[in-house]
Amino acid sequence: MAARVALGVLGLLTFGTITSLLAKIIFGVASVGIDGQVKEFRKPLFETFAMFYGMSFCFLLELLQRKNLEWNAEKHATSSQRHSVFVIWFPAAFDLIATVCMCTGLLYTTVSVYQMLRGAMLVFTAIFSVLFLKRKLTFHHYLSILLNIVGISLVGLANTLSERDIAMRGNLVMGIVLMIFGQCAQAAQVVVEEYFCQDLNMPSIRVVTYEGLFGIAMMLLIVFPLAYFIPGQDAGSFENIFDSFVMIEHSWMLQGILLTDACCMLFFNYFSMNITKLSSSMLRTLLETMRTMIVWIVDMILYYFISRGQFGEPWTEYSYLQVIGFVFLVIGTFQYSQHPTLATSEQDWVNEEEKVPLVTHLDQNTSIDKVNESSKVVIGPRNPPTNIPNFYSSSPSIFMRHGGFSPSLYSPEIWELDTKHSGSSSTLE
């Protein structure tokens, strides 16, 4: 068990760091475009398309997963449950908006800011959970939100002050605003997934795969055509998809980055699935903190020792302020993760037809039915939108793509039994 956890941690940190760095590095790679001019590959929409493309490769993990899970419940699912997969269009749409904003913001900011500003999603998810899911926040949640707001402000201020050029400073502020708006859309995705996708009766990895496929469809049918016909500076368009393919054709580096990114996304999802099963919320908070630190350190190593200033980011006189902001974000995130949100009333918490027992030790031969009959402690229905304790990245696609947090109050034994009983959770042996 310890070896599996260690391998999962190492894999998640390694491949998660690589995907974050490549998302920024690709914007600085130069190639010949459709007009014959050499220019940098500043294509945030194509980067969004590449991320969805990487998500779609999760079907390979699902094929591997099928060998280890029992699918009895899914085989007997009703036709309405089978067709309900199309509701994934809704969270996929929010994911598309969020990723476009994050990738566009990454054009003007550093990858460390890109990582740290994800803490804004906690703030927006808390707000949306109260407004739409009728959650109840406690003093600890409000304190965590305040800490995250202070941290976000310090990170943004540090990077704004470090930019001497006034015009570039304006672009930097615009990038930070876009990223914060992207986290708002990402928070909406979490809430929408929890509300619409709770009864899909499918493993999380399949939800991620479908979001990738639906994202690709929306990019090809809606986003790229609109971006092509809107006037702009990218070969006459806001973003010219044909110019993107020409640049990729003429650059082995672009081809290598895109291929490496897709492979790393696949391995990152694999290790994320294992960490989801084996770890706690505290470990996941620690892992995300470590990944942000590693990304920042490697980005500075790229700048000073490898690319000689072409890629990466330097250490400035205001970087100490960014470190302080990062510490606030870590404390706020950890504080929030230790205090799950509750339903708005105790009556809503207990008055549900289907209850899930909260236990800590079970015999391996115990069936889920026997547990339901014998347990005297219940915490509410299996998949409710209003009264399961929730943290801001219970969303499967958030965790699989970005290494977010997905803690649960279910004991590992109950989680495994519930998986075998309903086929509704992702597990890899």
**Domain assignment of residue 73, yes or no:** yes
Instruction: Kindly give, in sequence order, each residue whose CB lies less than 8 Å from that of residue 150, ignoring residues fewer than 6 positions away.
Output: 325, 328, 332
**Domain assignment of residue 174, yes or no:** yes
**Residue 365 has what pLDDT?**
53
**Residue 374 has what pLDDT?**
46
**Domain assignment of residue 379, yes or no:** yes
State which of 126-140, 189-203, 231-245, 415-429 shows the largest mean pLDDT.
231-245
**Residue 277 has what pLDDT?**
65
**Domain assignment of residue 338, yes or no:** yes
Is the pLDDT confidence value at 405 over 70? no
Single pTM value for the model: 0.77
Q: Can you spell out the DSSP letters for 375-414?
A: ---B---SS-SSSS---TT--HHHHHHH------SS-HHH
**Domain assignment of residue 185, yes or no:** yes
Q: What is the residue type of 37?
A: Q
Q: In the structure, what pLDDT confidence band is assigned to residue 191 with cuts at 50, 70 and 90?
A: confident
H-helix segments, 109-230: 111-116, 120-132, 139-162, 166-196, 204-218, 224-229
Instruction: Give per-residue pLDDT as tens, 34-93.
Output: 999 999 999 999 999 999 998 888 888 777 766 655 444 444 444 444 446 788 898 899
The count of structural domains within the chain is: 1
Closest Cα to residue 249, out of 261, 258, 236? 258
- Domain housing 150: 2-422
CA distances from 364 to 296, 368, 406, 414 (A): 44, 11, 24, 10
**Residue 208 has what pLDDT?**
81
CA distance 47 to 100: 8
Instruction: Give per-residue pLDDT as tens, 164-187.
Output: 888 888 999 999 999 999 999 988
Instruction: Give per-residue pLDDT as tens, 327-372.
Output: 999 998 888 877 765 554 444 444 433 444 444 444 555 554 554 4
**Residue 73 has what pLDDT?**
44
- Any idea which residue has 């205001």 for tokens? 318
Average pLDDT (387-396) is: 38
CA distance 208 to 189: 12
**Domain assignment of residue 305, yes or no:** yes
| Mean of all residue pLDDT scores within the chain | 77
**Domain assignment of residue 429, yes or no:** no
**Domain assignment of residue 428, yes or no:** no
Q: Kindly report which listed range (61-75, 126-140, 245-259, 395-409) carries the lowest average pLDDT score.
A: 395-409
CA distance 37 to 258: 21
CA distance 98 to 182: 4
